[in-house]
Structure 1
Amino acid sequence: MCCLWEGESRMAGGTCPIVHGGNTTVGRSNVEWWPQALNLDILHQHDAKTNPMDPGFSYREAVRRLDVAQLKRDLLALLTTSQPWWPADWGHYGGLMIRMAWHAAGSYRIADGRGGAGTGNQRFAPLNAWPDNVNLDKARRLLWPIKKKYGNQISWADLIILAGTLAYESMGLKTFGFAFGREDIWHSEKDINWGAEKQWLAENRYEGKSREVMDNPLAAVQMGLIYVNPEGVNGQPDPLRTAQDVRVTFARMAMDDEETVALTAGGHTVGKCHGNGDPKHLGADPEAADLEDQGLGWLNKTGRGVGRNTVTSGIEGAWTPHPTRWDGGYFHMLFTYDWVLSKSPAGAWQWEPVNVREEDRPTDVEDPSIHCTPIMTDADMAMIKDPVYRAISERFYQDPDYFADVFARAWFKLTHRDMGPKARYLGPDVPAEDLIWQDPVPAGPTDYDIPAVKARIAASGLGIAERVATAWDSARTFRGSDMRGGGNGARLRLAPQKDWEGNEPARLAKVLSVLESIAADTGASLADVIVLAGCVAVEEAARAAGVPLEVPFAPGRGDATEAQTDAPSFAVLEPVHDGYRNWLKGETAPRPEELLLERTQLMGLTAREMTVLVGGLRVLGANHGGRRHGVFTTRDGVLTPDFFVTLTDMSLTWVPVGHGLYEVRDRASGAVHATATRVDLVFGANAVLRAYAEVYAQDDNREKFVRDFVAAWVKVMNADRFDLT
């Protein structure tokens, strides 16, 4: 209802003077008005204001009080209690729950660690409305009574994966284990790059026609898919071409060929596809649905639209004769029959067996007296048409126990990969075995003499810049998206990290040779000594600035071995840019300041923390290669706010000189004071960042600058210390 003015409106045509809805409906956002402006929203995705939990609430503490045994009993009962509003296929919701868990975990990609099941993000757009996630909203609504009962003791993120894992157990699979510990987010991760397409299922994320080079960091072949199109490449059946897509997408999720076949086969051993109806009758997705639909999408309001009449993928049928049983039916069907192309009732391409025997025909989901034709997707046919996949499939067919073990391990990896190290796992079903993809790190010593180590570091002859840069390089690999990287483990000394260009191998080797000797002599881990060396350097720089303090330090980091390090998997962590050290490797399409935001978000830092760290690292001389860009100080190694003082000084002007560089000149004389990069200048050009810069440039905030820098520094150094939380 529009507001009314008393008496006759003075607005032409009686228009209401208030713009209702603002930027949420009809108004344009700042990004739309100024598309080239630096958008800092990615750094504030999960602001505390969006979190409805009480201050101080700890999910890790709450889940420790959970009655896991009773929760499992309740979930198992739910799986076989069909609800009239969304009936269970064959009276068992297992297939639906497995698909929900699978699609939650399957959005993970190794390039940036984003996606995955670790945050419960499937509840929000865009994932809740993806074409590949049709009807998974029903699975989450079916779980609501469980979530309602156990409340804060079980997150949606954990519940989604547990439901899928228990579904497999209820069907006869011996699973590898399960860990609690996923904490929910509370709004859409709208700033994640899911692809540049402007429409669902568009085909433009490959370079050329080879389908070998897909845009990074994407891991699905089309917008709105978890992996590949089940009907074939661009919806056209061709198992060998589909095999190429499958191999690329699963590799980008850190799965090898054997794991890929196991996951494909294990996922299709149970459940079915749904396409027994006209997809044109489906309503809007959950985000576009009417208010009365209460967040449920894809509703068929013209007919029954549930049970045997459900339309999801458009493909119709089960893969195996017994879709609620874990068995070898998948490979039995693949290798027993010849398969021909056909169309589902919904018009989707699918493969059907020739002369299938009655005992190999699954029953109807509602009437066991009716037998139906089994099906395969184009991805299933790839498992026997691709030579490598076929050899693996044959071994699984001949050795069902081996297949079950490989699948159980692959399912555990799929559903836990984005949780990070094992230290984050909680619950009674955490496997004892350490897995290489968990990046294991042994516990480090804590009983050594920290003051003695600090004294050795101070007397080592290593400069402030050398120590700060080495500690930073060790810690900066951490990414909160999948909790990988960081300084714990001291993998900075191992391949491939010791040879990364961004780590300055020559400087790194020099510093490590000194720090390794100190670690060996004092009983400390090298990982601790690397971080402690940086902390001592910061203390020295703060003291020189007139702010004596002690940088908080927590011992206990361990040193990983080569045997505990899957070197190839760390390639995705290699930095090709680091605005904090004012370094960019070669040419790049995104602007350097946007790359800085990318690294900042992955490290879990705020815009304010980013600002103070950049300013501090500049004056500490931490630039890559000792470059002087942005080093706006004459007191190297002194923790002063000189970077911000210079940036806000209106007696200076900034002149572009090419290649992304600028000269800092005196307005009156034209004398050149310094040089700078785009990353430096953005802290004076962007309105929000300039506001932060002005705070630190104030005469009364010099001590605040030091203390804020130390707090942000410690946050980076401890980001991977999950044992401290």
Structure 2
Amino acid sequence: MDGNQFKGLGGCPVNHGGNTAMDKPVTKWWPNALNLDILHQHGARTNPMDADYDHRAAVKALDFDAVKSDVKALMTENQDWWPADWGHYGGLMIRLAWHSAGSYRMQDGRGGAGSGNIRFAPLNSWPDNASLDKARRLLWPVKKKYGNALSWADLIILAGNMAYESMGFKTFGFGFGREDIWGPETDVYWGSENEWLAPSENRYGDLENASTLDNPLAAVHMGLIYVNPEGVNGQPDPAKTAHHVRETFARMAMDDEETAALTCGGHTVGKAHGAQVGVEIGVEPEAAGIEHQGFGWANAEHGGTASKAFTSGIEGAWTKEPTKFDMGYFDYLFNYEWQLTKSPAGAWQWEPIDMPDSEKPVDAGDGSTPRNPMMTDADMAMKVDPIYNEICKKFMADPEYFKDTFARAWFKLTHRDMGPRANYIGPDVPNEDLIWQDPIPAGNTDYDVAAVKAKIADSGLTSAELIATAWDSARTFRGSDKRGGANGARIRLAPQKDWAGNEPQRLAKVLGVLEPIAAETCASIADVIVLGGNVGLEQAIKAGGHSVEVPFTPGRGDASDAQTDADSFDVLEPFADGFRNWQKDEYAVSAEEMMLDRAQLMGLTAAEMTVLVGGMRAMGTNHGGSKYGVFTDREGALTTDFFVNLTDMSYSWHPMDDGSYEVRDRATGEVKWPATSADLVFGSNSILRSYAEVYAQDDNAEKFVRDFVAAWTKVMNADRFDLAA
């Protein structure tokens, strides 16, 4: 065949754009369709590791000292293709670690440094992350050398720590153990804007009130980590900026002192880059041509000169000695008056008045020419805001206190989404339990599990009460930052005991029965709550005509009020639970979308979500005993009735004025069951229906029970990090 065979057909046999241009093709054509991509991410099909690869075991075999030594050495190994400021990459590596961790937000636990997500879109191409592609490429030789055991997620944060240590600062500690993901996290909502740095009004109810920033967002613009360094909406006003700094850091679980320490300690080293006028900076990595090989923000004028790098457009160092951790930031900020000006690139910044050349930092490239330092609007907020000013004065009066506060805040910033200390690996893990790690004491394993189960079975509590209590205790788990879950039994403490979704009256009744059993048998109440759920489930399985023992591993501990940061736990409150067919109020998003979000946070697949919903409906565990979606005449038994009746064409489905539905007998018109959209979606969505049909088949009743038990056990053990230690 000759090369002209495709003439008249566009000259090419390839379906242009068929695999790349049409992102999420189903929702492109049918925008109201339920998008299940959130439950299909990072599975076996995207992970290049062997099926039996054990990352934690691999990490434990690392030569930690050698890794740290190699990372520290590269800080001063200057590369011609991207030369270091003053011959030291420390500032760049700290920024890489900071921006990797800084995408974390407390509301849903998403973002953060725990998965190496900064390697992928959109984070790798955010304007705020300009030139961090270079930092990752500088680290590649170390990653290449140590391979699978050294994840990118660990290496990026370790680089920040080693940068600080190479510049004279003693960090609080470091934990290895983060595991990389292998593709973009499309489940993370970064905002609704369609352009970078769109006006802040798009994500605030009232821009004058920083607390009206849309949840779960924590950054003021699309494509930024925190606040606009030039001021709110690019308009300098340090007093106003201070309010937005306070809000964005609070959404990362940082208080005022931690916020001030991070700002001041982060800007004690390194510089911002924007020294050139009228330079055409290329597109971000995701938009760059193949020949750029993953690099973005091309700068034809760079010419291998450190001082000509371009990132934010702001230009200058914050201190006289930018490769040394010292108190120079405070010396500059408080000992000089500052005036508003613009960088050579045209960005708003603050520069000192009447600073002699002898006190200025020198050029990052030639190492001799005096250059004006600068402060961003957020830096000036540390001086102008009375609360931050007082904190900074305290730091200045006690440098050791500042260093300790910063070290702890930096550790929190870079480890916040790793969960409890059981997930940390390596010789530099601090021994101290920190309240933001949600500490839980070790639980007892030396008790008679069978005897506890017998007491629960004889307690008079119903299967539905036991199952609902265990579920509510476990469902708070978030794989995003590894918080929540049944371990610790925090469902019995404030604020969880009073959450509407936990049915406080029913919860108090069940705990009043289970707590004495725990005390009598020396089991933790956390274990007894989960065992109670298992007992209820086994009773439901038996009622459905099967006999299966639900797996159980003892050893959960009971957290105390003193070990629980109640304010921090407020964000874990569920406002909807599709598994128990409940939502607290009416919301802009549908019940089924909230169910997907909860399932993803719990680490469930679409198939696991399906089997759990169907089983929970059949067992009658709806919130408040609601009958919505209980498509069975055998309520209380674990059966496939939900799926059988959902797919039975003897019935029809009718929307009601209140947003609910009725399932009616086609022949008689009789209302058989009420339903919600979170029920009927398993019949309307083509993917979910395919799962529902599996369980509706006559040959899969036993499979359904096995699959339900496996998914249930996964939820109950989601936070048992001690089992993998």
- Alignment RMSD, CA only? 1.4
- TM-score where L is the length of structure 2: 0.98
Q: CA deviation at 1:59?
A: 1.2
Cα 1:320/1:644, change in 2 over 3 Å: same
Q: Would you identify which runs of 4 or more consecutive aligned residues in structure 1 move more than 3 Å? A: 2-6, 12-18
SS at match of 2:285: coil
SS at match of 1:49: coil
The aligned residue for residue 579 of structure 1 is 578
Q: CA deviation at 1:209?
A: 3.5
The aligned residue for residue 197 of structure 1 is 193
Per-residue Cα deviation, 1:606-643 (whole angstroms, up to 9, x for no partner): 00000000000011111000010001111121100000
Q: How does 1:642-661 map to 2 (within 5 A)?
A: 642-661=641-660
The one-letter code of the counterpart of 2:291 is E
The aligned residue for residue 600 of structure 1 is 599
Task: Decide whether the 8 Å contact of 1:305 with 1:311 is kept in 2.
Answer: no
The aligned residue for residue 97 of structure 1 is 93
Task: Decide whether the 8 Å contact of 1:477 with 1:486 is kept in 2.
Answer: yes
Q: CA deviation at 1:16?
A: 5.3
Cα 1:686/1:76, change in 2 over 3 Å: same
Cα distance in structure 2, aligned partners of 1:138 and 1:717: 42
Per-residue Cα deviation, 1:361-389 (whole angstroms, up to 9, x for no partner): 01111223211111100000000100101
Cα distance in structure 1, aligned partners of 2:493 and 2:352: 52
Cα 1:389/1:14, change in 2 over 3 Å: closer
Cα 1:13/1:444, change in 2 over 3 Å: closer
The aligned residue for residue 300 of structure 1 is 299
The aligned residue for residue 164 of structure 1 is 160
Cα distance in structure 1, aligned partners of 2:466 and 2:354: 72
Task: Decide whether the 8 Å contact of 1:278 with 1:311 is kept in 2.
Answer: no
The aligned residue for residue 268 of structure 2 is 269
The aligned residue for residue 117 of structure 1 is 113
Q: How does 1:548-627 map to 2 (within 5 A)?
A: 548-627=547-626
SS at match of 1:281: coil
The aligned residue for residue 129 of structure 1 is 125
SS at match of 1:696: helix
Cα distance in structure 1, aligned partners of 2:35 and 2:698: 29
Q: How does 1:319-358 map to 2 (within 5 A)?
A: 319-358=318-357
SS at match of 2:259: helix
Q: CA deviation at 1:122?
A: 0.5
Cα distance in structure 2, aligned partners of 1:625 and 1:122: 42
SS at match of 2:188: coil
Cα distance in structure 2, aligned partners of 1:140 and 1:18: 34
Cα 1:549/1:14, change in 2 over 3 Å: closer
The one-letter code of the counterpart of 1:702 is A
Cα distance in structure 1, aligned partners of 2:171 and 2:280: 39
Q: CA deviation at 1:76?
A: 1.3
Task: Decide whether the 8 Å contact of 2:22 with 2:28 is kept in 1.
Answer: no
Task: Decide whether the 8 Å contact of 2:151 with 2:180 is kept in 1.
Answer: yes
Q: How does 1:225-624 map to 2 (within 5 A)?
A: 225-278=224-277, 280-302=279-301, 304=303, 306-624=305-623
Are 2:186 and 1:185 equivalent residues in the alignment? no
Cα distance in structure 2, aligned partners of 1:30 and 1:154: 37
Per-residue Cα deviation, 1:574-613 (whole angstroms, up to 9, x for no partner): 1110000000111100011100000000000000000000
Cα distance in structure 1, aligned partners of 2:680 and 2:374: 59
SS at match of 2:387: helix
Q: CA deviation at 1:303?
A: 5.1
SS at match of 1:160: helix
Cα 1:26/1:631, change in 2 over 3 Å: closer
Task: Decide whether the 8 Å contact of 2:80 with 2:304 is kept in 1.
Answer: no
The aligned residue for residue 211 of structure 1 is 209
Per-residue Cα deviation, 1:252-310 (whole angstroms, up to 9, x for no partner): 00000000000000000000010111464211111111111111111112552641111
Per-residue Cα deviation, 1:236-259 (whole angstroms, up to 9, x for no partner): 110011101101100000000000
The aligned residue for residue 716 of structure 2 is 717
Q: CA deviation at 1:124?
A: 0.6
Cα 1:18/1:178, change in 2 over 3 Å: closer
The one-letter code of the counterpart of 2:553 is A
Task: Decide whether the 8 Å contact of 1:340 with 1:351 is kept in 2.
Answer: yes
Cα distance in structure 2, aligned partners of 1:14 and 1:567: 64
Aligned length: 721
The one-letter code of the counterpart of 2:208 is S
Match of 1:140 among 136, 141, 147: 136
Q: CA deviation at 1:483?
A: 0.1
Q: CA deviation at 1:208?
A: 2.4
Q: CA deviation at 1:19?
A: 2.1
Match of 2:172 among 170, 176, 188: 176
The aligned residue for residue 147 of structure 2 is 151
Per-residue Cα deviation, 1:101-133 (whole angstroms, up to 9, x for no partner): 000000000000000000000001000000000
The aligned residue for residue 15 of structure 2 is 19
The aligned residue for residue 685 of structure 1 is 684
The aligned residue for residue 61 of structure 2 is 65
Q: CA deviation at 1:660?
A: 1.9
Q: CA deviation at 1:70?
A: 1.1
Task: Decide whether the 8 Å contact of 1:339 with 1:354 is kept in 2.
Answer: yes
The one-letter code of the counterpart of 2:83 is P
Q: CA deviation at 1:192?
A: 1.2
Cα distance in structure 2, aligned partners of 1:373 and 1:51: 48
Cα 1:279/1:710, change in 2 over 3 Å: farther
SS at match of 2:433: coil
Match of 2:43 among 44, 47, 69: 47
Per-residue Cα deviation, 1:322-353 (whole angstroms, up to 9, x for no partner): 10111100011111000001111111111011
The aligned residue for residue 29 of structure 1 is 25
Q: CA deviation at 1:357?
A: 2.8
Cα 1:305/1:194, change in 2 over 3 Å: farther
Return 5+ residue gaps in structure 1 as ranges: none
Task: Decide whether the 8 Å contact of 1:205 with 1:215 is kept in 2.
Answer: yes
Cα distance in structure 2, aligned partners of 1:194 and 1:450: 46
SS at match of 2:334: helix
Task: Decide whether the 8 Å contact of 2:301 with 2:308 is kept in 1.
Answer: no
Cα 1:537/1:303, change in 2 over 3 Å: closer
Q: CA deviation at 1:152?
A: 1.2
Cα distance in structure 1, aligned partners of 2:302 and 2:505: 71
Per-residue Cα deviation, 1:420-451 (whole angstroms, up to 9, x for no partner): 11110110000000000000000000010000
Q: CA deviation at 1:21?
A: 3.8
Cα distance in structure 2, aligned partners of 1:86 and 1:17: 41
Are 2:34 and 1:38 equivalent residues in the alignment? yes
Task: Decide whether the 8 Å contact of 1:321 with 1:359 is kept in 2.
Answer: no
Q: CA deviation at 1:23?
A: 3.8
Cα distance in structure 2, aligned partners of 1:14 and 1:534: 62
Task: Decide whether the 8 Å contact of 1:3 with 1:16 is kept in 2.
Answer: no
The one-letter code of the counterpart of 2:186 is K
Task: Decide which moves more: 92-101 or 19-28.
Answer: 19-28
The one-letter code of the counterpart of 1:149 is K
